[in-house]
Structure 1
Amino acid sequence: MKIRGRALSALPLVLTLAAACSDGGGGDMTGADGMGGGGAGGGAATSFEVILENVTPARDYRVAGVFDTPVGESMPGPLFPEKSFEFRVGALPGDRLSFTTMFGQSNDLFYAPDGAGIALYDEEGTPVSGDVTDQVLLWDAGSEANEEPGAGPNQAPRQDGPDTGAEDPDNTVRLVQDGYTYPAVEEVLQVTVTPEPGNEFTIRITNMSEVGTLMPEGGEPAAVPLSPGLFVVHTMEDPLFTVGQPYPDNGLEAQAEDGNPTMLHAGVMPRAGLTSPVAPGVAVVHGAAAPLFRSGEADRGKGLEMLAEDGNPAALAASLEAEIGGERGISSVQVYNTPVGASMPGPLLPGAKLSFTVTARPGERLSFASMLGQSNDLFFGPSEEGIALFDASGEPVSGDVSDEVSIWDAGTEANQWPGVGPDQAPRQAGPQTGADDPMDNVRSVDDGYLYPPSSQMLKVTITPAR
C-alpha cells in the first residue's frame, strides 16, 4: 500500500465503484491528431474491438487440497501414532471444513465430519479455535465387505493389493455399524483448528492411537494408522458424500479402501478455487515497451497502485494521458468500465463481457490492466511489451489472445489468501489499508497461494474492423 506519487483523496472500492471516468464508458484520450504524435507511424490506422470476458466458472469449494506428509517428514506417507498432518486454509464466516482420512486397519472405513462439515466461525462470526474432534465420525463407505478391524486379510496393512476385498452387500455410505468393536474417535485421532491472521486457519490432525487401541480376536494388539486425505472448504451440504446414498463415483472408494485421496482430489479440483470480479481498467495503445510497468522494478507511482489495490483506474489513466506522444510511444489511452448490457460502470462479474475499441497503426501494441478484485494488489495484463496488434507483415491480428495475459503482482501491498483476505477490496475498511509488500516490485504473481490460470478467469479477444 506504499504510495509513491502525490496523495489522493479516498477512492471507492472496486465492488462499489459508481464511475471511473466521466463518460461512463470507454473514454478515449488521444493527442490532437488522434494519435498523439506517439504512434508507430507507417501504414493506415485500423480499429480493433477488444472484448474482455470473465469466464470464471462457479465453484463448489473455496479451497481443496491433499494432506499427505506428516509434520517433520520429507516424504508422503501414512500417519502413525504421535504424528500429525497439518494444513492451512482460508475461510470466511459461513465456510465449513470437510476432510477424509482412512481408518487404516479396515476394509473401507474413513473418518470425516457429517454432511454439514465443521464450521470455522461461530454464529457471531468469531473464528473457531481449539479441539473439534467431537465433530468427526467413523464412516463405512459401503464399497467393500467389512472384516474384523486389525485382523482382516483384505485390509490395507495385510492385503495383496488395492481393491481386493468382497463387495459390500449394502453399498450406501453410513456410520459404521457392523457388529465389530471400534475404538472411540478420540482414541484414534484429534483434530484442532487454530485461527491465523488474514482469515486463515491451521488444521492439525494427530494420530492418538497406540499399540493396543485395537485388540482383535483374530490378530495382535495394534495401533491405527491414518491415511493421507482430502480437505475442502465449502458452504454446500454433503460436499463429498451423502449419507444413506450409494458411495459416489468420485474417488471415495480408493480413499476409504486404500488410503489414496488422489482420485478424490482430481475430482474436486476443477470445482475448487477462486471466483472473482474483474475491475474497470485502463487500455493503452503504444509503440515502445513498458507503458504501465517494467517487471522486476518498483511501481512508478503513476496510479497503477490504486488500480491494482482498489480497482480505480482514474489516476493511472490521467498519468498516461499526460505521456501521450512521449518516449513510451503512447498514442491513446482509455478507461473501460461498463460491462455489456449494463447502464452504469462497475466490475466485470463472472459470465459478463466488456467491450471497447482501440485504433492503431502497424508496429503498435495494446497494453491494459484490470484488478483481480479478490486480491490485495493483483491485476490482469499482458507482459510489459504488450500485445502485438499487427503481425510481421503488417496484417491486423485477430482472435483469442488470452494466452498473452497473466496475473501480475503490483508489489505495493502484502498478499493475503485470495478471496478471503481482510485487506482485499471487497472486505477492507477503506483504500490503502494493507501492509506494504516487502518485495516492492512488479512481478508475475508467485506468493505461495493457488490461483487459476489467467486464461481460466479472463478471456481476451481482439477483432479488427472489416
Structure 2
Amino acid sequence: MKANLMLRFLALSTVFGLVSCSDDDDSSQGPLSGNFVVTIENVFESKEYFDNGTTGFIMPGDSESFSFDAGEGHYLSFATMLVQSNDLFYGFDEMGIPLYDENGNALTGDITAMVSLWDAGTEVNEEPGVGPNQAPRQTGPDTGADENETVKRITEVNDGFAYPNVSDVIKVTLAYDGGTEFTATIENVSGSASITTPLAPGVWVVNGAEQTPLFTVDNTASEGLERIAEDGDNSILDADLTLESGLVSPFAPGAYEINNAVFVIGESATEALEALAEDGNPSGFSNIFNIPVGASGPGPIFPGESYSFEFTASEGDVLSFATMLVQSNDWFIGTNDIELFNNGIPTTGDITNRLELFDAGTEVDEYAGAGNNQPPRQNGADTGAEENATVGVEETAGAHVPLIADMVRVTITAN
C-alpha cells in the first residue's frame, strides 16, 4: 500500500513540477523567464489654458505690471472693471491678442488700441460716475437692477450716456523680456479724463487660438465676469481660471531595452537618444513603442491615452526605457534599472516611483510649454540651440511642471 501511494505521489509531482525526473539538480533547468507587458499612461490633468493671474486695485496715476511666459500660438486676455460704472470692464477682444506675429516676432509696445470698453450686460447702466448702484456708492455688491443682456462693446449699447475714450482712462503696454517671457503693464491714466476712476482688481490669462476664456460676444456673462464687472471682485473668475490653467503635455513614441541602457547618466547623448529626446523620434533604437493603445498608427499619447509594449525576459534581466515629454526641448521620462525578477518572483505593479525626469543635454532649455523650439511650435526637427551637455536628472524644471506621478503612470504585468 505504501509503495503504491509513493508511486502516485511521484507521478503527480512530476506533472505539477514539484520534483524533477532527472538526476540533475534544479539549476539544469536554467533561469526563470516570463512574458511582461509595460503600460505607459499619460495622466496629465486636462487644462483649457496655459497660465493665469490677477491684477490689483489701480488708482489714477498708478500702474501694475505682471510677467508671464508664452510661445507662438499663445494669446493674452485680461479684464478689469471701470469702477465708476455698473458693469463695464476693459479688455481685449473675446479671444485676446496674439503674442507673436506670423513671422514669429513678439508683440511689444503700446497696445492700448487693442483694448475696448465692454458692457457685461448684467446690470442696468446708470450715468457713469454718478449712479447710486455703482461700486463707489452702492450699499453692497450686486445691488443694481438686473439687465439680462449679453456682453457687448459699449459702443454698441445705446444707453444714452457718454463714456471717456479708452485711452483717456487706461494704457496697456507689452514688453518682450527675451526667451518666452513678456511683461504687461496696466496704467491708470484717468486723472485728466472726463471721469476719474480707479481700475478694480482683475484677471489675466494666457490662452490658445480660437479660445474665449473670459467672455464671448453676444453671450451671457459668466458669474465670475459678472462679479468683476459689477463689483471688482475677481475671486470667482480667478479660481475658475486657476483650475483650468497649467502645463499639459503629450508623451512621444519611445524606446526600451533589456540589459542595455537607452541612456547613460553623465555621458553625452547618442544620436538616437537626441532624436528621441528632442523630437520624439525613437527610430534609432531597436525596440520602440509608438502606437497608442487602440490607435491604428503611430502617434503621441495625450491625457487618458497610453502605450503598451511586451517582451520576454529572464531572471537577472533589467529594463530600460524612455519617452519624451513633448512640451520640452530635450526632456524625457524613464529609468534604467528595473529588475524584472526579485528572488525569483516577476516584477509586477506600479513602478512610477522608479521614474525620473531627465535632460538629454542636447538642446538649450526653454520654458516648458512655451518654447518656440519645442515640437508643438518648432519649424522642424533639431531646431533649438545646441547645449553640449551630458544626460542628467532635470532639477530646475520649474514650479509649473507637475510631479512625475501627475504626468505619467507606468505599470508592469507578468503573464
TM-score (norm 1): 0.67
| Higher helix content, 1 or 2 | 2
Question: Offset at 1:49?
Answer: 0.8
Report matched runs for 1:56-455 at 5 Å.
Answer: 60-61=48-49, 63-68=50-55, 77-80=56-59, 81-93=61-73, 95-122=74-101, 126-152=105-131, 154-157=133-136, 163-176=141-154, 177=157, 178-198=159-179, 200-210=181-191, 212-213=192-193, 215=195, 222-236=196-210, 238-249=212-223, 251-284=224-257, 292=263, 298-302=266-270, 304-313=273-282, 334-340=287-293, 347-348=300-301, 352-360=305-313, 366-381=319-334, 386=337, 394=345, 396-398=347-349, 400-402=350-352, 405-425=355-375, 427=378, 429-431=380-382, 433-436=384-387, 442-444=392-394, 446-448=396-398, 450-455=400-405
Query: Do the aligned partners of residues 229 and 342 (structure 1) sit closer, same or farther apart at CA in structure 2, a change above 3 Å counting?
Result: closer
Query: Do the aligned partners of residues 314 and 173 (structure 1) sit closer, same or farther apart at CA in structure 2, a change above 3 Å counting?
Result: closer
Measured in 2, the distance between the counterparts of 1:159 and 1:435 equals 60
> CA contact under 8 A between 1:49 and 1:463: conserved in structure 2?
yes
Structure 2: tracts of 5 or more residues without a match: 1-29
State the identity as a percent.
Answer: 39
Measured in 1, the distance between the counterparts of 2:152 and 2:122 equals 11
Structure 1: tracts of 5 or more residues without a match: 1-41, 69-76, 216-221, 319-333
Secondary structure of 1:374's aligned partner:
coil
Question: Offset at 1:379?
Answer: 1.0
> CA contact under 8 A between 1:415 and 1:447: conserved in structure 2?
no
Question: Offset at 1:411?
Answer: 4.3
Measured in 1, the distance between the counterparts of 2:162 and 2:174 equals 29
> CA contact under 8 A between 1:410 and 1:441: conserved in structure 2?
yes
Please say if 1:48 is aligned against 2:36.
yes
Q: How many aligned residue pairs are there?
A: 380
Measured in 2, the distance between the counterparts of 1:450 and 1:214 equals 43
Measured in 1, the distance between the counterparts of 2:312 and 2:236 equals 49
Alignment-mate amino acid for residue 168 of structure 2: E
Query: Do the aligned partners of residues 345 and 140 (structure 1) sit closer, same or farther apart at CA in structure 2, a change above 3 Å counting?
Result: closer
Secondary structure of 2:107's aligned partner:
coil
> CA contact under 8 A between 1:103 and 1:109: conserved in structure 2?
yes
Measured in 1, the distance between the counterparts of 2:295 and 2:211 equals 34
Deviations 1:213-239 (A, max 9, x none): 355xxxxxx442342322232211533
> CA contact under 8 A between 1:363 and 1:394: conserved in structure 2?
no
Measured in 1, the distance between the counterparts of 2:70 and 2:246 equals 11
Query: Do the aligned partners of residues 104 and 286 (structure 1) sit closer, same or farther apart at CA in structure 2, a change above 3 Å counting?
Result: farther
Alignment-mate amino acid for residue 142 of structure 1: G
Secondary structure of 2:190's aligned partner:
coil
Q: How large is the Cα RMSD of the aligned pairs?
A: 3.9
Q: Per chain length, whose mean CA-contact separation is higher, i.e. which structure has more relative contact order (CA < 8 Å, sep 6+)?
A: 1
TM-score (norm 2): 0.74
> CA contact under 8 A between 1:376 and 1:434: conserved in structure 2?
no
Largest Rg, 1 or 2: 2
Measured in 2, the distance between the counterparts of 1:364 and 1:158 equals 76
